């Protein structure tokens, strides 16, 4: 996967509006201490790993201090809508791998397969209540992009390599501020995608193009990110093109596993990748 990078452009993020100042009132030390203790207890109960990446501590405090119209409404608004980024590999830049027939005519491109899967993943996540950005390969929004998770979808070569060139690959960014969560995202994708598709995790062919994927260095380091190659366009072409929904569901379930903090076994990821 070699790319020609477009010039990045920054994206401004507006600051949250200030709340009106509240006139202080007198209270005794015991009442104040009890109030702070109750507030902190409530805060740390409500401050889940998911909300950490989408709402600041200040916003969490404001949310807890704002009266809600009812108990049901309080439950509904305590968890803000989480943002997820999905990159359709090579989209808006080039075709990626190109599959040709005996006459040399292109019959299938990686970019088209990536786009089909990415759009279905987006639809799946939106149906689950998440806010999803569908991004191009060198989308200007990637510069400083901030979300709870970002996953870039790609595929491997159309050329026949050998009978072992089948299966999928996943690599996460090591430039994040939270390596443990990055590794957890990888484990979730490996486990759920393998279960859904029946394809084998092809760890031995993970390359530097994946571990040093350009978007890893462009996005906000708080965003947990990974790249997945969902198959080889030669030996895995049938499932990638005729069972695209199952492929997309595998990626979706991997992301949901991460977002929902579901149980997952650690994935064996090679550490000596070039």
Residues 138 and 111 grouped into a single domain: yes
Residues 51 and 66 in one domain: yes
In a domain, residue 250? The reply is yes
Confidence of residue 159 (pLDDT cuts 50, 70, 90): very high
| Under 8 Å between Cβ of 244 and 178 | no
User: Does residue 129 sit in the same domain as residue 40?
Assistant: no
248 is a domain residue: yes
Question: For the residues of 24-88, what is the DSSP string, one character each?
Answer: -----HHHHHHHHHHHHHHHHHH--HHHHTTS-HHHHHHHHHSPPSSHHHHHHHHSPPPEEEEEE
Task: Check whether residue 67 and residue 113 sit in a common domain.
Answer: no
- C-alpha separations of 227 from 8, 41, 180, 209, 259 in Å: 20, 37, 16, 10, 16
Residues 60 and 88 in one domain: no
Residues 221 and 235 in one domain: yes
My answer on whether 151 and 43 are in the same domain is no
Q: In this predicted structure, what is the pLDDT of residue 177?
A: 83
Asked if the structure places residue 274 within a domain, the reply is: no
Domain limit, last residue, from 20, 45, 78: 78
Note whether residue 179 is domain-resident: yes
Give the CA distances from residue 5 to residues 10, 92, 143, 186, in Å, rounded to whole numbers and listed in that order. 15, 11, 12, 25
Please write the tens of the pLDDT for every residue from 68-92. 343 333 333 345 689 999 999 999 9
**Could you tell me the residue range of the domain that residue 113 belongs to?**
83-259
Q: If pLDDT is split at 50, 70 and 90, which confidence band does 40 have?
A: very low
Sheet holding 169-172, edge to edge: 131-135, 83-88, 149-156, 224-232, 169-172
Domain count, the chain: 2
User: Do 179 and 51 belong together in one domain?
Assistant: no
CB neighbours of 225 closer than 8 A, spacing ≥ 6? Answer: 85, 149, 150, 151, 152, 172, 173, 176, 182, 185, 215, 216, 219
Q: 52 and 157, same structural domain?
A: no
Q: Is position 15 within any domain?
A: no
The reported pLDDT for the residue numbered 173 is 87
47, 78, 109 — which closes off a domain?
A: 78
Residue 204 makes CB contacts below 8 A (sequence gap 6+) with: 270
Q: Check pLDDT > 90 for residue 59.
A: no
Q: Does any domain span residue 2?
A: no
Q: State the pTM of this model.
A: 0.71
Calculate the average pLDDT of the chain.
78
CA dihedral for 193, 199, 202, 208, sign (positive or negative): negative
Asked if residue 139 belongs to a domain, the reply is yes
168 DSSP 8-state letter: B
Distance CA 57, CA 50 (A): 13
Which residue has better confidence, 153 or 161? Answer: 153
141 and 68 in one domain?
A: no
- Could you give the CA distance from residue 180 to residue 263 in angstroms, rounded to a whole number? 14
Q: Answer yes or no: do 90 and 64 share one domain.
A: no
Q: Is the pLDDT of residue 168 over 80?
A: yes
Q: Give me the CATH number covering residue 116.
A: 3.40.630.40
Whether residue 222 is predicted with pLDDT greater than 80 in this model: the reply is yes
Strands 169-172 and 224-232: antiparallel
Containing 228, the helix (H) or strand (E) segment is strand 224-232
pLDDT at 225 over 90: yes
Cα–Cα distance measured from residue 212 to residue 247, given in angstroms and rounded to the nearest whole number: 24
Last residue of some domain: 56, 78, 100? 78
Distances (CA, A) of 267 to 108, 169, 183, 251: 31, 11, 8, 15
Spatial distance between the Cα atoms of 107 and 207, rounded to a whole number of angstroms: 26
Whether residue 67 is found in the same domain as residue 150: no
Mean pLDDT across 53-76 = 38
Has residue 268 been placed in a domain? no
């Amino acid at each position: 996967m070699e790319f020609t990078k477009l010039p990045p452009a920054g994206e401004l993020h507006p600051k949250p509006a200030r709340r009106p100042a509240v006139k202080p009132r007198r209270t005794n030390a015991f009442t104040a201490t009890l109030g702070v203790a109750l507030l902190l207890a409530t805060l740390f109960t409500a401050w889940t790993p998911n909300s950490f990446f989408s709402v600041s501590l200040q916003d969490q405090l404001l949310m807890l201090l704002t009266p809600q119209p009812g108990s049901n409404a309080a439950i509904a608004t305590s968890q803000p809508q989480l943002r997820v980024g999905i990159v359709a590999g090579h989209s808006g830049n080039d075709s990626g791998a190109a599959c040709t027939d005996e006459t040399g005519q292109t019959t299938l491109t990686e970019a088209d397969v990536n786009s089909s899967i990415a759009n279905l993943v987006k639809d799946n996540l939106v149906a689950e209540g998440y806010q999803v950005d569908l991004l191009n390969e060198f989308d200007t929004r990637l510069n400083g992009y901030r979300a709870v998770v970002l996953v870039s979808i790609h595929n491997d070569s159309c050329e026949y390599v050998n009978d072992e060139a089948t299966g999928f690959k996943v690599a996460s960014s090591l430039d994040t501020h939270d390596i443990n969560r990055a590794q957890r995202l990888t484990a979730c994708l490996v486990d759920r995608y393998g279960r859904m598709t029946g394809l084998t995790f092809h760890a031995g062919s993970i390359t530097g193009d994946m571990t040093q994927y350009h978007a890893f260095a462009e996005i906000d380091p708080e965003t947990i990110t990974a790249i997945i190659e969902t198959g080889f366009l030669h030996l895995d072409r049938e499932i990638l093109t005729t069972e695209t929904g199952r492929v997309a569901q595998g990626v979706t379930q991997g992301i949901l596993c991460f977002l929902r903090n579901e149980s997952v076994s650690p994935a064996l990821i090679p550490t000596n990748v070039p």
